[in-house]
């Protein structure tokens, strides 16, 4: 007979896997209790899992090598995990934020389109982005002179700077201005304007620290006035799959349409997210989305080779499937603090 696997749930999404077997050669005799105890400890260490609850009846499980960090800051639950399949992964409020092996998909899609659409980008303000990957991609552009990365959570920034080796150079770059503050408050108090503003924020969950930064009032009254004349705004916009795009993606897109003249939604599959993901790019100037021109700019402007994005890939990412396109066309919800939409999950404030 084969092995039966039973998932034993623990707090904060962590679990162990218990194996049951009928193989005769695996039967441990009574006089081998010490060996059995040692094997149990070793098995428990080898078979640790993390479970992300995507929905009430749906979980996404990751086998772990070890837990690098687990704790609760003032703002959110944080875990940095070393997984067997996806490498190091950052989990905030129980939600996968990025994985070492495929984060390049998310961050290339987030950062390079607005920089390539802009005629001569020099300054960028990143809301969130504490792990440093968004800043890393932005700093590859030769024209960039200053990147402000504003994250609310010092603890996230500190352990990402320590453990995510791919971003060590970005954190040391003299063009990076790292600020620990609420992005809304930081933008309000700053007098300068930016060529690009990026929303690299955690997903809006009930009780989380970020949902106010997806509202029409924030985009209209605080963010847009901080963009230069040719300025471009881009934000991650949550799950965008056939079954998940109505959670927040369509609402974020429709909200931004009420603030900017030219708005495009685009998507890509991110394996570690177990879904298609969405972004929204916006400006009051026309967005140049042409494969040949984007490829030319990639060759001229960016140090090193992109792993995922080229002109054709970006153009194709703006072509949405029929179900999602229809929802975006008919969406009427405008994101506001008093009628916010959330993805499944809870933030620290809600649990308290």
Positions annotated as catalytic residues are 200
Contact status, residue 277 vs residue 268, Cβ threshold 8 Å:
yes
Q: What contacts 175, CB < 8 A, 6 or more positions away?
A: 139, 144, 145, 146, 147
Contact status, residue 302 vs residue 116, Cβ threshold 8 Å:
no
Spatial CA neighbour of 91 closest among 259, 205, 222? 205
Q: How far is CA 28 from CA 31, 32, 35, 47, in A?
A: 8, 6, 9, 19
* Rounded Cα distance, 247 and 88, in Å: 27
* Rounded Cα distance, 6 and 61, in Å: 13
| Tokens 């970005």 found at | 170
Rg (CA), the chain: 22
For the chain, give me the number of helices (H) and strands (E)? 12, 14
Q: Rounded to 10 degrees, what is the CA torsion of 141, 144, 145, 147?
A: -100
């Amino acid at each position: 007979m084969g092995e039966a696997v039973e998932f034993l749930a623990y707090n904060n999404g962590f679990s162990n896997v218990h194996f049951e077997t009928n193989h005769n050669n695996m039967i441990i005799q009574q006089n081998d209790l010490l060996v059995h105890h040692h094997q149990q400890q070793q098995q428990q260490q080898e078979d640790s899992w993390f479970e992300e609850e995507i929905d009430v009846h749906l979980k996404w499980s990751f086998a772990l090598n070890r837990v690098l960090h687990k704790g609760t800051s003032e703002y959110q639950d944080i875990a940095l995990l070393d997984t067997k399949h996806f490498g190091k992964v950052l989990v905030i409020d129980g939600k996968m934020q990025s994985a070492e092996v495929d984060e390049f998909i998310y961050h290339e899609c987030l950062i390079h389109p607005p920089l390539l659409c802009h005629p001569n980008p020099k300054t960028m303000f990143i809301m969130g982005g504490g792990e440093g990957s968004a800043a890393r991609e932005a700093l590859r552009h030769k024209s960039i002179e200053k990147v402000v990365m504003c994250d609310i959570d010092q603890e996230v920034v500190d352990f990402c700077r320590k453990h995510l080796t791919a971003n060590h150079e970005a954190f040391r770059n003299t063009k990076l201005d790292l600020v620990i503050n609420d992005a809304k408050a930081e933008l309000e108090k700053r007098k300068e304007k930016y060529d690009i503003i990026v929303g690299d924020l955690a997903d809006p969950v009930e009780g989380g620290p970020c949902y106010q930064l997806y509202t029409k009032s924030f985009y209209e009254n605080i963010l847009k006035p901080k963009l230069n004349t040719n300025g471009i705004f881009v934000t991650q916009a949550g799950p965008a799959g056939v079954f998940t795009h109505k959670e927040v993606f369509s609402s974020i897109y429709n909200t931004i349409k009420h603030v900017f003249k030219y708005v495009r939604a685009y998507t890509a599959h991110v394996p570690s997210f177990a879904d298609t993901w969405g972004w929204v790019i916006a400006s009051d100037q026309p967005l140049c989305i042409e494969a040949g021109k984007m490829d030319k700019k990639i060759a001229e402007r960016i140090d090193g080779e992109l792993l995922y994005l080229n002109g054709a890939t970006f153009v194709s990412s703006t072509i949405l499937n029929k179900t999602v396109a229809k929802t975006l066309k008919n969406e009427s919800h405008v994101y506001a603090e008093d009628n916010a939409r959330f993805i499944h999950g809870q933030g620290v404030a809600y649990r308290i």
